[in-house]
């Protein structure tokens, strides 16, 4: 299997953070009738998938119209990922988008956007596609797998919270934040190196 495909799958799972978002998923779904929860979960994941798919297929072209090159996109994506990673490691109360009780049934916000398809996930989808546009079916497959993991996490969110507990979930999120920090720094350095190579 292509190593870049596995890298894309893992990166998309890291930035969508299905385990770390479990407490927020539960908060957002607590006002939804149990009979409707599965339908709402499927709808929100499909909406998030379509948003990320649109970013993956058309986002690079849109940025190209604005004159934003691959190097700048990669560096900017790395900065966004770094900010997300820092927030995962050192969460501040009320700092996460979508945190807090929801009013009624969620519709796109806050589950589809920004908990699943947030700025970091959108930037990552665009970056993955920009690496090799010819392999778009492979990247779409990676996105589909990451969305499947997110959907399973949503379906089992209450079970995960009961079995793992809030503290262990927080520890897992911090560990994922550490990994994401290393990935973001590598993206920033790669973007900077590419920029200076083309500028010289």
Q: Tens digits of per-residue pLDDT, 37-47?
A: 999 999 999 99
**Both structure tokens of 7:** 């890298």
The contacts found for 62-65 with CB under 8 angstroms, 24 or more apart, are 63/126
Domain that holds residue 63: 3-199
The number of folded domains in the chain is: 1
Given this model, what pLDDT does residue 104 score? 61
**Is 16 a residue whose pLDDT tops 60?**
yes
Average per-residue pLDDT for the chain:
83
The band of 97, judged by pLDDT with boundaries at 50, 70 and 90, is very low
């Amino acid at each position: 299997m292509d190593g870049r495909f596995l890298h894309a799958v893992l990166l998309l799972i890291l930035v969508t953070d299905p385990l770390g978002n479990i407490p927020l998923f539960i908060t957002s779904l607590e006002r939804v009738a149990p009979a409707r929860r599965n339908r709402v979960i499927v709808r929100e994941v499909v909406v998030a998938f379509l948003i990320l798919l649109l970013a993956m297929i058309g986002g690079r072209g849109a940025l190209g119209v604005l004159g934003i090159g691959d190097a700048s996109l990669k560096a900017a994506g790395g900065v966004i990922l770094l900010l997300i990673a820092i927030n995962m490691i050192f969460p501040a109360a009320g700092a996460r988008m979508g945190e807090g009780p929801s009013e009624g049934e969620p519709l796109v916000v806050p589950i589809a956007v920004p908990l699943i398809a947030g700025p970091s996930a959108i930037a990552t989808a665009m970056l993955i596609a920009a690496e090799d546009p010819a392999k778009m079916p492979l990247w779409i497959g990676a996105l589909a797998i990451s969305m499947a993991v997110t959907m399973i996490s949503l379906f089992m969110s209450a079970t995960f919270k009961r079995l793992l507990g809030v503290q262990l979930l927080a520890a897992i999120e911090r560990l994922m934040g550490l990994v994401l920090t290393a990935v973001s720094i590598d993206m920033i350095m790669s973007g900077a190196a590419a920029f200076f190579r083309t500028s010289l």
